[in-house]
Structure 1
Amino acid sequence: MNHPVPLVEIVRSGLREGLHHGSAVLIDPDGATRLSLGEVSSPMYPRSSLKPAQAAGMLRCGLDLPAADLALAAASHSGEPEHVSRVDALLRRYSLNEDDLQCPPELPMGEAARRGVSVERRITMNCSGKHAAMLATCAINGWPTADYLDPKHPLQVAISEAVVDLADEPIARTSIDGCGAPLFALPLTGLARIFQRLVTTPIGDAMREHPWLVAGTDREDTRLMSAVPGLISKIGAEGVFAFALPDGRAAAIKIADGADRARLPVATALLATLGIEGLDDLAEAPVLGGGAPVGTIRLIAGAVR
């Protein structure tokens, strides 16, 4: 069995002070593996990187949303005012409200989004768009909403079937995600296949058209999708990240220690191997000391090749 490999280094005042290990896979349009680093064939939990596939399962159940709401269904949004108002409008369209959401209450994500907000709410939780879409899918099918997160609910059964179909992999294990929804374990290769197969679908189109709704101000997905024409991407907790280009080239990443800050350096390096340059502002992040930059977080030279 392979193991995660060193990918990202943390350098402070000229000295390396730490490493982030991880695994990554890059596949070609025909499904062949172009690049494999670390452990890519053992199951792991994709976390919120699975949201586009969950949205695909809802579409297969007859959910029909405008592109902006479909992007929100696949989102880990920041809980900024427009995110919240859109989720609220989606719920009300199906005679539902915030009380019907079963995601846990949380504050918005990020300093700017939290400014002036002191009360945790379900609708400001980053997964509320997905949960609103799940409730809407139940409403149009006449399914009960009180237990919509039960893995045996018709909605969740349909979503799991869509995940298996898109990943071309069996679900190795089912758990519960941070938002309360069922979470399915897959290898990185399966996650990359999901993005490859969704990139030219209505979900891919919606994410490309509305990257800010997928994430929020200054968030990773917003920045990367805005910088690379045609690309779709989705972060997940615990250092997961996946993306695909319209020609079918796709990748999935897992940082072993769950470090969010290591995702973009690896993603930009993988894109560079595909000839996509000009992402220097995404390839490194500053290390701060006393509020001022004293170092950098960057890919280890030669780690991705």
Structure 2
Amino acid sequence: MTGQPILVEVVRNEFVESVHRGCLVVTAPDGSVQFSAGDVTSPFFPRSANKPLQGVGMLRAGLGYDGAELALGCASHSGETGHVERVAAMLSGAGLDPAALACPPELPIGEDARRAADEPRKITMNCSGKHAAMLATCVANGWETDGYQEPDHPLQVQLAKTVEELTGESIAAVGVDGCSAPLFAFSPTGLARSFGRLVQAEPGTDERRVADAMRAHPWLVAGSGREDTRLMRAVPGLLSKSGAEGVLAFALGDGTACAIKIADGNKRALAPLAMAVLARLGIETPEGLSDLAHPPVLGGGQPQGELRVSWSVP
């Protein structure tokens, strides 16, 4: 299904300065497409938005996490002290240390944590929680931890199988994500449907354990001031996970779900689109999130315009 793309205009002093184009799809609780804009059937790399699906795969492979540890295993954390300490505890619980992580050393992505950091480290890389969970899954199964990030490792084979089941699609391509783990390509529609399945699953199932853990610990999923954290705190029952290069997926508690991809990869277009979708679904802008609905465009440190959503969907 290919239609007119969504547009997010950057307006400065009532002049359209630039435009971000992309696609979005909203699926109903039964998985049918409720409305869409742009190409939502061609495969793409969802980047970190696929972490909840990987989390389900790890549980199916015997990972014993729940609650905070499971939320951090599905996170793109900010590298704040609480994040790093908990990742260290996850590794220690598996009899490992940060040297076992296959993710590259990086500075934290959280602004305050980044300023306070002395040097790039593996454990402050935003995907270190996922990698710690992957390692713990390997230890639980007696699998080799060396090379756990390789596509033919038993862990990654299980995760690929789970992604295909949850999205209802065959993986179109396998790449290497920024954290070194395999990255699976599928459509935005498959991504939305998978999030709907997570929130609608029966309590206690692996899918629901992931959704419940992330919604109960939104700060661990992202961090202070981050959009995923703010959205999950403000909208009851909402599950949200963003990804690099302009990707966001979220689901309401009833199973209605949305996937967004910005073509130029600019993440600033994601929040206003998410808020526009929520408004179309009858959820008015929650208190304290108006800056997400209409992010200001600054000039000289003062608001000179805003980001505006433009779309044409049935």
TM-score (norm: length of structure 2): 0.94
- What's the secondary structure of 1:234's corresponding residue? strand
Matches of 1:298 and 1:246, distance apart in 2: 27
> What is the match of residue 133 of structure 1?
133
CA displacement at 1:116 relative to structure 2: 2.1
> What is the match of residue 93 of structure 1?
93
Gaps of 5+ in 1: none
- What are the superposed Cα offsets for residues 253-282 of structure 1, whole Å, 9 maximum, x if unpaired? 000110100001111111111111124332
- What are the superposed Cα offsets for residues 188-213 of structure 1, whole Å, 9 maximum, x if unpaired? 01000110111240100001100000
- What's the secondary structure of 2:126's corresponding residue? coil
Gaps of 5+ in 2: 201-207
> What is the match of residue 42 of structure 1?
42
> What is the match of residue 225 of structure 1?
232
CA displacement at 1:57 relative to structure 2: 0.3
- C-alpha contact 1:149 1:180 (8 A) present in aligned 2: yes
> What is the match of residue 269 of structure 1?
276
Asked if 1:295 corresponds to 2:295, the answer is no
Counterparts of 1:1-305 in structure 2 under 5 Å?
A: 2=2, 5-200=5-200, 201-279=208-286, 280-300=290-310, 303=312
CA displacement at 1:3 relative to structure 2: 6.1
Matches of 2:61 and 2:113, distance apart in 1: 33
- C-alpha contact 1:24 1:188 (8 A) present in aligned 2: yes
- What are the superposed Cα offsets for residues 198-253 of structure 1, whole Å, 9 maximum, x if unpaired? 12401000011000000000001001111100000000011110001111100100
- What's the secondary structure of 1:123's corresponding residue? coil
Residue range with higher mean Cα deviation, 264-273 or 37-46: 264-273
Task: Evaluate the alpha carbon distance shift between residue 120 and residue 256 of structure 1 in structure 2; reply closer, same or farther with a 3 A threshold.
Answer: same
Letter in 2 for 1:281: D
Matches of 1:193 and 1:145, distance apart in 2: 32
- What's the secondary structure of 1:43's corresponding residue? coil
- What's the secondary structure of 1:40's corresponding residue? coil
Matches of 2:4 and 2:139, distance apart in 1: 43
Runs of 4 or more above 6 Å deviation = none
Count residues with an aligned counterpart.
304
CA displacement at 1:2 relative to structure 2: 2.6
Matches of 1:71 and 1:138, distance apart in 2: 18
- C-alpha contact 2:8 2:269 (8 A) present in aligned 1: yes
> What is the match of residue 205 of structure 2?
none
- C-alpha contact 1:23 1:255 (8 A) present in aligned 2: yes
CA displacement at 1:14 relative to structure 2: 1.7
Matches of 1:274 and 1:141, distance apart in 2: 43
CA displacement at 1:303 relative to structure 2: 4.3
Matches of 1:61 and 1:212, distance apart in 2: 26
Matches of 2:3 and 2:106, distance apart in 1: 35
- C-alpha contact 1:7 1:266 (8 A) present in aligned 2: no
Matches of 2:285 and 2:165, distance apart in 1: 35
CA displacement at 1:36 relative to structure 2: 1.1
Matches of 1:190 and 1:278, distance apart in 2: 27
Superposed CA RMSD in Å reads 1.3
Matches of 1:110 and 1:95, distance apart in 2: 28
